[in-house]
Structure 1
Amino acid sequence: MATALAQGVARREVVVEAAAKQFAKHGYDATTMRNIAASTGILPGSLYYYFSSKEELFAAVHERAINHICTGVVKAINPEADPWTRLEQASRGYLDAMLNSSIYASLIVTEFPRRRSKKLRERLIADRQRFEQMFVEIIEELPLARGVDRSYWRLALLGMLAWTYVWYKPSGDPPGVVAGKLVSLLRDRTAA
């Protein structure tokens, strides 16, 4: 019984990984359950044993992508460091995780929740908020100049970091250097 359960879990993981690659390559709308099944060797109807719909499968893939990036952020942070250092570390962890795993990055950067059903949109937004909360907590501790709106500050930083997916070239500065420069751009103009 335990072996069958382990095989089921392993097969589910194969489906999620294959779906991630298909969604990254073709986008949500152009990817079909048949595409995903073909890339796994599983019969198309058998996919529905693991996921009731393409939407549910995409939600699982998106959650995995967010978890991957959150893990990268958490691993990069020294909780004993000052807030500016922790922010640079979190930013570096985000870029390292995103730029070194383009499949997951493309899902987060290019698939916008507003184009999806309400149920899927709520799930994607909840994933994103869980990720952003790590930055909210650090930014709340930053010594910013009076009158600086921390919500917009956070959105500006996260937007700059996310956009690196579009322009980053591995032959340029490493992700950690890019993260430090982007944080500095905001810090130099808004620090108290």
Structure 2
Amino acid sequence: MAYTKADPGSRRDAIIEAAARQFAKAGYDATTMRDIASLTGMLPGSLYYHFRSKEELFAAVHEEAIQKICDSVVRAIDPAADPWTRLEQAASGYLESMLMHDSVYAGIIVTEFPRRRSRNLREQLISHRQRFERLFADIVDELPLKDGVDRSYWRLALLGMLAWTYVWYRPGGDPPKVIAQTMVRMLRNDTAQADS
């Protein structure tokens, strides 16, 4: 992708897109602002008009990644459906975004961990992730689970299973929707109340 003259908003978008590709390819630590500038066709100093630092740019890329996945999850959910169906839909929306549509952005979320970053950046990344996790927490809170099932751990187990598909998924196998439904049903089989 090469930069073309356009309004400042699209310049910022072009920088975020280029940064996402570079961060996904080389990782945060190995990526320089010069690398990103090269992808956009801009001078390295021009990036600082839009972002004061690589850290600030990474936070913007991470927020965009979370937003893309959140949008996909929300679009997939039928608010009128029962909680189990909504959870399958949410999981499917997550995997569709991560594996099919926004894999470059998803790779950043899956491979860059907040604890390895400065306190300021870590807090921003955690805040982004909490916004995404809240979509699932709200549904899990409504599930008819057996007494004694810890809903926080249940949700984290599901999200961990879903996130790990980014590592092992290969096109040509089961589609994301089938994977999502299978994972939700695996957890449901052992933890749902008998009549649900």
Q: How does the TM-score come out when normalised to structure 2?
A: 0.94
Give, in angstroms, the shift of residue 170 of structure 1: 1.1
2-structure distance, mates of 1:36, 1:63: 18
Give, in angstroms, the shift of residue 105 of structure 1: 1.1
Report the count of equivalent residues: 187
2-structure distance, mates of 1:105, 1:118: 22
The residue that corresponds to 1:69 in the other structure is 69
2-structure distance, mates of 1:42, 1:130: 33
Spell out structure 1 runs of 4+ moving beyond 4 A: none
The residue that corresponds to 2:33 in the other structure is 33
* CA offsets 1:63-103 (integer angstroms, 9 cap, x no match): 00000000000000000000000000000000000001210
1-structure distance, mates of 2:33, 2:73: 32
Q: How does the TM-score come out when normalised to structure 1?
A: 0.96
The residue that corresponds to 2:114 in the other structure is 113
1-structure distance, mates of 2:9, 2:134: 30
* CA offsets 1:1-59 (integer angstroms, 9 cap, x no match): xxxxx711111111110000000000000000000001111000110000000000000
2-structure distance, mates of 1:81, 1:102: 28
Amino acid at match of 2:79: P
Matched, 1:90 2:90: yes
Quote the RMSD (CA, aligned, Å): 0.6
The residue that corresponds to 1:122 in the other structure is 123
Amino acid at match of 2:105: Y
1-structure distance, mates of 2:181, 2:13: 35
What SS does the corresponding residue of 2:170 show, helix, strand or coil? coil
Identical columns (%): 69
Gaps (5+ residues) in structure 2? 1-5
Amino acid at match of 1:105: A
